[in-house]
Amino acid sequence: MKNLLKIGLIATILFTSVNTYASNDDLSLKVNSVERKTIRLSINQTQDMKVTFYGLNDEILYEKKGHELSGSSKTYDLTDFPDGNYIMKLETDLKSVEYQINIENNKASLSTAPNKETFKPVLTKKDGVVTLNLDYTNKAPVEITIFDEFNNQLYTNTYNDSAKLVRKFNIGKALSSKLTFVITSKDQAFNSTIDVR
């Protein structure tokens, strides 16, 4: 009886270890490639999210926007997808992440690390203060530069290894009517112009 229990436990571990996982701070993905072609997306934070599946030549096969609650999950069935390579893109207010999906012999596999991660800084202005919020898991140095409307550099600073960066800038006494914020990291750049008045 003990041997039967041990064999059953070993078989269960072997079958469940075939699953592929990908994880991020905001969400986690799981592909079940043993029995069916499905991807399960678990949301760890309440947020607005857009999920898109791309095929060859960047054609959109599926796209859905929604407000996802923390602790919820979504399952996507890939049984109608023929063998080939696909991209699953997940976009939130703060970032965009792409994962590669490979379907071969009726089994799906998912890249455990994102193929591409793009940061999306959020700039908000309230009571003469601009707040920069950047959630960036790449942990590469982030450079922030501020220019006035005549392209004069007013501020520059580099922040190293910042996965979560929040900075406040008091623009209430600025002499310029517009300020341009340029945020760069690795091969990515983002800019936004803010009206001071």
The model's pLDDT over 185-197, given as tens digits with 9 standing for 90+, comes to 887 888 889 998 7
Question: Is 177:197 a contact under the CB 8 Å cutoff?
Answer: yes
Q: Is 107 in the same domain as 141?
A: no
**Range of the structural domain that residue 30 is part of:** 20-117
pLDDT for 30 beyond 80 = no
Q: Is 131 in the same domain as 90?
A: no
CATH at 83: 2.60.40.3080
Q: Is 101 in the same domain as 50?
A: yes
pLDDT of residue 93: 77
Q: Is 108 in the same domain as 82?
A: yes
Q: Which tokens is 133 given?
A: 């919020």
Q: Is 187 in the same domain as 103?
A: no
pLDDT of residue 29: 59
Structurally, the chain folds into a number of domains equal to 2
Q: Is 35 in the same domain as 111?
A: yes
pLDDT of residue 105: 82
Query: Is the alpha carbon torsion for 129, 195, 49, 144 positive or negative?
Result: negative
Last residue of a domain, one of 93, 117, 141: 117
- In angstroms, how far is CA 153 from the centroid of its own chain? 31
pLDDT for 132 beyond 80 = yes
pLDDT of residue 117: 72
CA-to-CA distance for 151 and 7, rounded, in angstroms?
71
Q: Is 30 in the same domain as 54?
A: yes
pLDDT for 145 beyond 90 = yes
Among residues of the chain, what percentage have pLDDT more than 90? 22
Residue count of the chain: 197
Asked if residue 54 belongs to a domain, the reply is: yes
Tens digits of per-residue pLDDT, 71-120? 888 888 888 888 889 999 888 877 788 888 888 887 888 887 776 777 77
Residue position matching structure tokens 């071969």: 104
pLDDT for 126 beyond 70 = yes
Q: Which tokens is 145 given?
A: 């530069």
